[in-house]
Amino acid sequence: EDQVTQSPEALRLQEGESSSLNCSYTVSGLRGLFWYRQDPGKGPEFLFTLYSAGEEKEKERLKATLTKKESFLHITAPKPEDSATYLCAVRTSGNTPLVFGKGTRLSVIA
Amino acid sequence: DAEITQSPRHKITETGRQVTLACHQTWNHNNMFWYRQDLGHGLRLIHYSYGVQDTNKGEVSDGYSVSRSNTEDLPLTLESAASSQTSVYFCASSEGGKAYEQYFGPGTRLTVT
């Protein structure tokens, strides 16, 4: 069974304190790993897609990386507006829907 | 601009009533999905569709149904609402092929009393 595990469940950072969120996966044939941001009371917002080990994508203070077993979302010098829940999801072989992790709730304190 | 909308945004209903949640997208996407999101469970897939007249069951489909009569809409029906179906419901859509990023609607908060 395809599984996606995100850690930690919650993370509290001081403004400017860089850190990383982890998404580990056990799937048969990865065809893409997706990162989303979700603000309270809103739907998830698409951030990145990674397709192969070694690939990296960046957007402002966020950088996503991918290995054969996990992905990291690095947050450099975070600001309070980066506070949100970050979700990762995987697409596996075949025409199957995305499988989502439970998310990491990030709080950045000024 | 293309978008995906859901209605109503909030709904309170009684146990046993039939409820329909609407989802409308103007991206012209083939794929549409319904999820529920609950504390401790994350996003769970209810039903999905890869095109007109196509519907498929997801992880938690019992008590829910969908139909796809056109590209833009995928309504979700709760046949007989139960308190266990109190949740936040999200609709999403995506293109087919490699461009599989899903774009989500704003959600519907459903309370079954």
Instruction: Give the separation between CA A1 and CA B40, rounded to whole angstroms.
Output: 20
The whole-angstrom distance between B65's CA and the closest CA on chain A is: 17
Q: Does B27 touch chain A (CB under 8 A)?
A: no
Residue B13, min C-alpha distance to chain A (Å): 20
Residue type, A77: A
Of A31, A49, A100, the CB nearest to B43: A100
- H helices of chain A, in order, are none
Each residue of B14-23: pLDDT tens digit?
A: 999 999 999 9
Assign B97 a pLDDT band (cuts: 50, 70, 90): low
| A42-91 per-position pLDDT tens digit | 999 999 999 999 999 999 999 999 999 999 999 999 999 999 999 999 98
Residues 51-110, chain A, touching B (beta carbon < 8 A): 87, 89, 91, 95, 97-98, 100-103
Which percentage of chain A shows pLDDT scores above 90?
85
| A101 interaction partners in chain B (CB closer than 8 Å) | 42
CB contact under 8 A, A49 and B101: yes
Whole-number Å distance between alpha carbons of B47 and B33: 6
d(CA A35, CA A49): 7
